[in-house]
Amino acid sequence: MKMPVPDSGVIARRRAIVDALRAIVPGEGVIVDEAELRAYECDGLTAYRQLPLVAVLPETVDQVSRILKTCQEMGVKVVPRGAGTSLSGGALPLADGVLLGLGKFKRILDIDYANRCVVVQPGVTNLGISNAVAGEGFYYAPDPSSQIACTIGGNIAENSGGVHCLKYGLTTNNVLGVELVLMDGTIVRLGGKHLDAGGYDLMGVVTGSEGLLGVVTEVTVRILKKPATARAVLIGFPSSEQGGDCVAAIIAAGIIPGGMEMMDRPAIHAAEAFVHAGYPLDVEALLIVELDGPAAEVDHLIGRVAAIAADKGAVCTRVSTSEEERLAFWAGRKAAFPAVGRISPDYYCMDGTIPRKALPLVLTRMTELSARYGLRVANVFHAGDGNLHPLILYDANQPGELERAESFGNDILRLCVEVGGVLTGEHGVGVEKRDLMTDQFDAADLEQQQRLKCAFDPDGLLNPGKVFPTLHRCAELGRLHVHKGELRFPDIPRF
């Protein structure tokens, strides 16, 4: 993984850049001390580390605007950062770039129950929003597993999902409005407390843009009433094919569960050994199906799901009879990552999406790859939407194992694309999957995406080196060879 070569000219101007930032953000808001900068050297993808040129922690939108404008004028790159929980290196600093931390934007600005929305600053945590409205029985639906720490600003950058997103949507389906500062310092507002923006759906593009299009300084999200009831069914299958068939049959029956998670044998065993959730150990696939909603609906659907499971060859089916039992079913799944961490010095979490019907093929091929690379793999799977999280087990202290784990991971993601899926379902491309983008997209696809980037950031200063494997100058991308009047009228049907 190569980052763009740092611009030694910019690094040489560090003092001038720091002075310019200090003129905008006084005192401790500009960080230059190496020991303090260490806190920002990586995000959740810890294999990659880089000290930023300087870090700045603004407190107002005006400061953000002036920082970006100044950096654009000085030709300095900027990497925005929320809580730094990205699993794809989206907030990896640049040696010649300013790290722009939004950690001081922590205020909840407006809780508006009458319009069923909340307005917050981007540094508010995902769970912080739900907690703020829990008293009235509301919550914010997307629930990435890092929700205690991750911020809503980062959620917008990554279009974060979670266990419940098949039914309740990703971040993009739950955001109503954003205030966005462009690289030239311009402040624009997209959406608001109403539905749909006037004009192009720029909010839709900004959500999931991984900090490449602008810096979000305010967010309006919709909040939902908490489901009245939730019950879960734990189902074991002798093969992953049967587990996959069961998922397909549940959806074909018109049921969209609140959550539908699958684990393979290694993941089941690791989780059970860790939290003793009472999982069956003699099955190849374990499914947790959670139904939520009005009690009458949940009771009705639990029965239907159990019947479908029996029909598809389930060898064990347990329906939660209490909230305690429901949480116990989930305990193993929620602890799956640390559980795998117990049985291996290190693990590498992947994130691809596949058409669910390809699951047996993908698992078979993954087993072959596991043997070839000599590394174990455990699978947890958002089964409802086909989002696969293979955990590759390795030991970073063994020379070459990290590189082998990465190669193995890349092969898994290429496999996801090969069967009709995509490189990332919820973690983002970042630096991690950047060089695989050409496996999913043609040159023309990527160039068109980069032209859109040029509309927001013509000098390519915002978070460069992420998402796109090759950087192009906007002038070069925008060039259009028009054969003025040289093409004959096309030979196609006309009326």
Using CB under 8 A as the binding rule, the residues of this chain from 406 to 465 that contact other proteins are 420-429, 433, 437, 440-442, 444-449, 451-456
The answer to whether 141 contacts other proteins (rule: CB under 8 A) is: no
Q: Please identify, using beta-carbon distances, which residue of 2 and 483 lies nearer to other proteins.
A: 483
In the complex, minimum distance from the CB of residue 166 to other proteins, in angstroms, rounded to a whole number: 7
| Distance separating alpha carbons of residues 117 and 328, to the nearest angstrom | 32
Q: Please identify, using beta-carbon distances, which residue of 8 and 448 lies nearer to other proteins.
A: 448
Contacts to other proteins from residues 265-294, by CB under 8 A? 293-294
Contacts to other proteins from residues 63-122, by CB under 8 A? 112-117
The answer to whether 311 contacts other proteins (rule: CB under 8 A) is: no
The answer to whether 135 contacts other proteins (rule: CB under 8 A) is: no
- Which of 2, 33, 34, 252 is close enough to bind other proteins by CB under 8 A? 252
End-to-end CA distance of the chain: 54
Cα–chain center distance at 231: 27
In the complex, minimum distance from the CB of residue 94 to other proteins, in angstroms, rounded to a whole number: 21
Q: Which two tokens stand for residue 16?
A: 């001038």
Residue whose entry in the numeric block shows the structure tokens 């080196």: 465
- Which of 104, 226, 265, 376 is close enough to bind other proteins by CB under 8 A? 226
- Which of 9, 27, 400, 490 is close enough to bind other proteins by CB under 8 A? 490
In the complex, minimum distance from the CB of residue 11 to other proteins, in angstroms, rounded to a whole number: 30
Q: Please identify, using beta-carbon distances, which residue of 50 and 174 lies nearer to other proteins.
A: 174
Q: Please identify, using beta-carbon distances, which residue of 115 and 239 lies nearer to other proteins.
A: 115
Q: Please identify, using beta-carbon distances, which residue of 54 and 117 lies nearer to other proteins.
A: 117
Q: Which two tokens stand for residue 374?
A: 């000599």
In the complex, minimum distance from the CB of residue 173 to other proteins, in angstroms, rounded to a whole number: 5
* The one segment of 74-82, 186-194, 307-315, 404-412 that binds other proteins by CB under 8 A: 186-194
Residue whose entry in the numeric block shows the structure tokens 């460069």: 464
Contacts to other proteins from residues 342-381, by CB under 8 A? 353-357
Q: Residue 279 burial (CB < 10 Å; 0-12/13-18/19+)?
A: buried
**Residue 314: what residue type?**
A
Residues that contact other proteins, how many (by CB under 8 A): 109
The neighbouring-strand residues paired with 187 are 181
Q: Please identify, using beta-carbon distances, which residue of 251 and 306 lies nearer to other proteins.
A: 251
Long-range contacts of 293-300 (CB under 8 A, 24+ apart): 293/227, 293/228, 293/229, 293/258, 294/227, 294/228, 294/229, 295/228, 295/229, 298/229, 298/230, 298/231, 299/231
In the complex, minimum distance from the CB of residue 71 to other proteins, in angstroms, rounded to a whole number: 18
The SS3 of residue 59 is coil
Q: Please identify, using beta-carbon distances, which residue of 5 and 489 lies nearer to other proteins.
A: 489
The SS3 of residue 32 is coil
Instruction: Decide: 362 and 418 in contact? Cβ < 8 Å.
Output: no
Contacts to other proteins from residues 22-51, by CB under 8 A? none
- How large is the angle between the packed helices 61-74 and 14-22, nearest 10 degrees? 150
Residues 204-223, mask of contacts with other proteins (x by CB under 8 A): xx-xxx--------------
Contacts to other proteins from residues 227-246, by CB under 8 A? 227-228
> What's the alpha-carbon Rg for the chain, to the nearest Å?
24
The answer to whether 148 contacts other proteins (rule: CB under 8 A) is: no
| Distance separating alpha carbons of residues 46 and 450, to the nearest angstrom | 27
In the complex, minimum distance from the CB of residue 446 to other proteins, in angstroms, rounded to a whole number: 8
The answer to whether 312 contacts other proteins (rule: CB under 8 A) is: no
In the complex, minimum distance from the CB of residue 461 to other proteins, in angstroms, rounded to a whole number: 16
| Distance separating alpha carbons of residues 338 and 325, to the nearest angstrom | 21
The answer to whether 198 contacts other proteins (rule: CB under 8 A) is: yes
In the complex, minimum distance from the CB of residue 124 to other proteins, in angstroms, rounded to a whole number: 21
Long-range contacts of 2-7 (CB under 8 A, 24+ apart): 3/50, 3/92, 3/94, 3/431, 3/465, 4/94, 4/464, 4/465, 4/471, 6/94, 6/95, 6/96, 7/96
Half-sphere exposure (Cβ direction) of 205: Cα atoms closer than 13 Å: 17
Q: Please identify, using beta-carbon distances, which residue of 17 and 216 lies nearer to other proteins.
A: 216
* H/E element, 470: none
Contacts to other proteins from residues 377-406, by CB under 8 A? 382, 385-387
From residue 116, how far is each of 44, 162, 169, 286, 417 by CA, in Å? Answer: 32, 21, 17, 37, 38
From residue 359, how far is each of 101, 258, 346, 366 by CA, in Å? Answer: 40, 21, 25, 10
Instruction: Decide: 178 and 172 in contact? Cβ < 8 Å.
Output: no
In the complex, minimum distance from the CB of residue 39 to other proteins, in angstroms, rounded to a whole number: 27
The answer to whether 19 contacts other proteins (rule: CB under 8 A) is: no
In the complex, minimum distance from the CB of residue 115 to other proteins, in angstroms, rounded to a whole number: 4
| Distance separating alpha carbons of residues 89 and 352, to the nearest angstrom | 16
The answer to whether 145 contacts other proteins (rule: CB under 8 A) is: no
The answer to whether 482 contacts other proteins (rule: CB under 8 A) is: yes
Q: Please identify, using beta-carbon distances, which residue of 137 and 278 lies nearer to other proteins.
A: 137
In the complex, minimum distance from the CB of residue 157 to other proteins, in angstroms, rounded to a whole number: 10
